Amino acid sequence: MPSEFESSARRTGGSRSPAGERAPGRLGALRREYDAGRFDRGDLAPTWDEQFARWFEDAGGLAEPNAMVLATADGDGRPSTRTVLLKAVDAAGFVLFTNYTSRKAREVAANPHASLLFPWYPLDRQVCVVGTVERLTAAENAAYFASRPRGSQLGAWSSHQSSVIAGREELTARRDAVAARWPGPVPAPDFWGGLRVIPRTVEFWAGRPDRLHDRLRFRRLPDGVWIVERLAP
């Protein structure tokens, strides 16, 4: 019996790809021209963080402009991705917060390398980051945790992130227990905190017509000096 995917391919005139897999014809026909405007080296800020700040300001009207795709890999090189939120950025790197028992945190503990992608589709822009990962200090974690809404604080204590649970009722019961335990200020958990991605490369991608995109990359040399390179699209 043909799969739903195969049936869909037949209905839409799908054909086999060079790899021999059937692809729905409508996917091959999906195409949009990009044009973020000319983007040359002369348009860049002096540093990657200043350039990021410029583009982040331009993305301010988008839904969650600080949403980014974080890619990590375990000690055997098996990758995983998820969308997380950027909570701080400066010349030292990009900061996010998580449960330290989560899959992402366990993976960077075993393999302290990661990449980030900011997919600002409406602007025909992306920012791609590759670098190493370090944990924030306990003081930094506590300062940020104190700034979070109470519900988010309770949620951090309630969720054993990435673990298997029986149902949502388990989460609700944990949250209620935490709320009863701390009716006032909620302390930061010692199993929760920040991760900083320290960039080795930061690429600024601007979509252009005919798939001839502009790609300008800041790359840090072993001596710490940053250079700028243009990449082929």
C-alpha neighbours within 13 Å on the C-beta side of residue 48: 28
Q: Is residue 89 assigned to a domain?
A: yes
From residue 146, alpha-carbon distances to 35, 102, 150 in Å are 42, 21, 9
The pTM assigned to this predicted structure is: 0.87
DSSP string, 81-98: EEEEE--EEETTEEEEEE
Domain count, the chain: 1
Which helix (H) or strand (E) element contains residue 141?
Answer: helix 138-147
Could you tell me the two tokens for 55?
């583009």
**Which residue is catalytic, options 78, 150, 211, 230?**
211
Residue 126 lies in a domain: yes
In a domain, 14, yes or no: no
168 catalytic per annotation: no
Tell me, yes or no, whether 90 lies in a domain: yes
The pLDDT tens digits for 137-169 are 999 999 999 999 999 999 999 998 888 989 999
As a whole number, mean pLDDT of residues 160-187 equals: 93
pLDDT tens-place string over residues 201-227: 999 999 999 999 999 999 999 999 999
Domain span holding position 219: 33-148+190-231
Indicate the Cα dihedral angle 89, 83, 161, 199, nearest 10°: -40
Q: Specify the 3-state DSSP secondary structure of 17.
A: coil
40-75 pLDDT, tens digit each: 999 999 999 999 999 999 999 999 999 999 999 999
| CATH code (residue 199) | 2.30.110.10
Q: Is residue 54 domain-resident?
A: yes
**Is 226 inside any structural domain?**
yes
Alpha helices in 163-208 (DSSP H): 168-181
